[in-house]
Amino acid sequence: MTDSQDKTTTAAEGDQARRFLFEQADIRGESVHLDTAFSEILAIHQYAPGVSRLLGELLAAAVLLRSTLKFDGKLVLQARSQGQIPLLMAECSSAGEVRGIARGADLATASHFDQLLGDGSLTITVDPAKGQRYQGIVPLAGDSLAHCLDNYFKQSEQLGTRLWLAADGNRASGLLLQQLPAQITADPQQRAQQWEHVCALAATIHPEELLELGTQELLYRLYHEEPVRMFAPAGLQFQCSCSRERTLRALSAIEPGELETLLEEQGSITMDCEFCNQQYRHSREDLQDLLGPGDTQPILH
């Protein structure tokens, strides 16, 4: 370990991600801890324990995968299945804003991964502020979300990538290891040995350690004989990206006649955000541009 990393015990960092590098190998890593942000997301909906755990793992994974990209925008993970959770979604922006939701899981009672997210697929969407969106899809085959993501990277990436995820009813954490292009070690066999070594040590992690230990102590326990350099942590927070403007854009997809019918029945149209429960109420005046001039009656004198 470097001088900046001793064996002093540190509490879990709370809401932050932290990058680190192995100084004698072409390998990088990232850790994530979600505390308050995860609690705020869970406070909005009443999820069963198994659903909360998987949502926490998906949120941690979204943060870790965002760290592998250099862009302004967001990364979205969306799991669709025939199991007890029809839809599970998490996203993380380049600014460290996270949000997530489980949809249609009101009756989910299972705790095993294959029962909750069986017979489905996981879509990874990179949505940059500028440029084109990119999507990758991987089957939800395996005994954990981390294993499904590992399989995705085996199929789609040249550089090795592994994840370890954990969550309970209060916190979510994760660890990512990723190979880098050859700069320090040129020999392929030695590179493979270094990668196998750091992954084998990471595989000894218990979920409780991921949740309870800060990055510094966790890395010391795993790699106290390795020179590892840590970088400054990056803060994370729960922040929904919903807005009045986005709800208006959604309403623009509805035929003016249907909007008129809703206004006549209800007097206004209210849209709720599933992620944060924010309500947006739109009056006839707010929707006039969508209704069109044909729906405005002339005033008779």
Per-residue pLDDT reduced to its tens digit, 154-177: 887 668 999 999 999 899 999 999
Q: Can you tell me the distance from the alpha carbon of 58 to that of 167, in angstroms, rounded to the nearest whole number?
A: 9
- Structural domains in the chain, CATH included, are 16-238 (3.55.30.10), 244-294 (3.90.1280.10)
Q: How many CA atoms lie within 13 A of 266 on its CB side?
A: 14
DSSP letter (8 states) at residue 170: S
| Poorest-pLDDT segment among 88-92, 264-268, 276-280 | 276-280
* Range 64-78 average pLDDT: 90
Give tens-digit pLDDT for 9-48.
334 468 999 999 999 999 999 999 999 999 999 999 889 9
**pLDDT of amino acid 11:** 40
**pLDDT of amino acid 293:** 61
Residue 300 has pLDDT above 50, yes or no: no
**Per-residue confidence band for 284, with pLDDT thresholds at 50, 70 and 90:** confident
DSSP letter (8 states) at residue 293: G
Q: Can you tell me the distance from the alpha carbon of 216 to that of 202, in angstroms, rounded to the nearest whole number?
A: 14
User: For residues 125 and 76, is the Cβ–Cβ distance under 8 A?
Assistant: yes
Q: Where are the alpha helices (DSSP H) in the chain?
A: 36-44, 49-66, 113-116, 145-156, 188-202, 207-212, 215-223, 244-251, 256-266, 288-291
Q: Can you tell me the distance from the alpha carbon of 222 to that of 211, in angstroms, rounded to the nearest whole number?
A: 15
Torsion of CA 187, 67, 129, 123, to 10 degrees: 90
Give the pTM: 0.84
**Per-residue confidence band for 8, with pLDDT thresholds at 50, 70 and 90:** very low
Give tens-digit pLDDT for 96-151.
999 999 999 988 999 899 999 988 999 999 999 888 898 999 899 888 999 999 98
Q: Can you tell me the distance from the alpha carbon of 61 to that of 57, in angstroms, rounded to the nearest whole number?
A: 6
Bridge partners, 238 (sequence order): 98
* Range 180-208 average pLDDT: 95
**Percentage of residues in the chain with pLDDT exceeding 90?**
62
* Range 43-71 average pLDDT: 93
- The phi, psi pair for 108, rounded to 5°, reads -70, 125
